[in-house]
Copies of this chain bind each other. A is one copy, B any other.
């Protein structure tokens, strides 16, 4: 039983991959190197694939800097030191236009070619309420595209999109990961790391991660620039 897992090298997708493995799937990791500012995560994804015993790991290049439109793919500044209230207000500038649709469509192609019936995807609605492409109704709409737009769908085998973290708080994700032995030390979350890959500690993603580890009562094993 095969599953494709979208693996960014981050915390959520790594916990998601561990869940897919626990669910009994041979996990085929797919990482998209899209020209993101925090490219260190692609190398982390390779280390995570080995640590989790993935059946294979495909790294695909799709240079979304050519399209732009996001602080993650241009020189736009990444917001720092925002409180939870500030983070929740708008779609953040780190939103990458249609990124999850691009990633899911590549995962769909990979799943169809492999004969995998499931795509695991680490979307999470609570912490990232500002990203439209992390909402449950969005994922259901994508499943409909998968059902109608593929050979697998026409033959009735289909491809299901599972987002097991969708409704979890970050602390719950971290506790779940801890119970599955996720190698947290390999995961990268920062949107704007130092040149050596060390997390800034201050972008939205770092803040959500740190608040989550604190709330979960788990020690975050990675280093931050400010500590």
Residues of A within 8 A of B (CB): 58, 60-64, 66-69, 91, 95-102, 104-106, 108-110, 112-113, 132-133, 135, 137-138, 141-142, 144-151, 153-154
B64 near A61 (CB under 8 angstroms)? no
B149 near A101 (CB under 8 angstroms)? yes
B95 near A149 (CB under 8 angstroms)? no
A108 near B113 (CB under 8 angstroms)? no
Count copies of this chain in the complex: 2
A141 near B145 (CB under 8 angstroms)? yes
Contacts of A99 in B (CB 8 A): 109
B149 near A98 (CB under 8 angstroms)? yes
Contacts of A96 in B (CB 8 A): 109
Cross-interface CB contact of A67 among B101, B110, B132, B144, cutoff 8 Å: B110
Contacts of A97 in B (CB 8 A): 108-110, 112-113, 150-151
**Cα separation A146 to B109 with both chains bound (whole Å):** 19
B106 near A102 (CB under 8 angstroms)? yes
B148 near A145 (CB under 8 angstroms)? no
Decide: A133 near B149, CB < 8 A? Known: A97-B113, A112-B69, A141-B144. Answer: yes
Decide: A138 near B142, CB < 8 A? Known: A60-B66, A109-B69, A153-B132. Answer: no
Cross-interface CB contact of A98 among B69, B112, B144, cutoff 8 Å: B112
Decide: A64 near B109, CB < 8 A? Known: A154-B91, A154-B132. Answer: yes
Contacts of A67 in B (CB 8 A): 58, 60, 106, 109-110, 113
Contacts of A149 in B (CB 8 A): 98, 100-101, 132-133, 138, 141-142
A150 near B102 (CB under 8 angstroms)? no
Q: Mind listing 16 A-B residue pairs with CB under 8 Å?
A: A61-B62, A67-B110, A91-B154, A95-B151, A97-B113, A97-B151, A98-B150, A99-B109, A101-B105, A101-B149, A105-B105, A132-B150, A132-B153, A133-B149, A138-B145, A141-B148
**Cα separation A66 to B62 with both chains bound (whole Å):** 12
Contacts of A137 in B (CB 8 A): 148
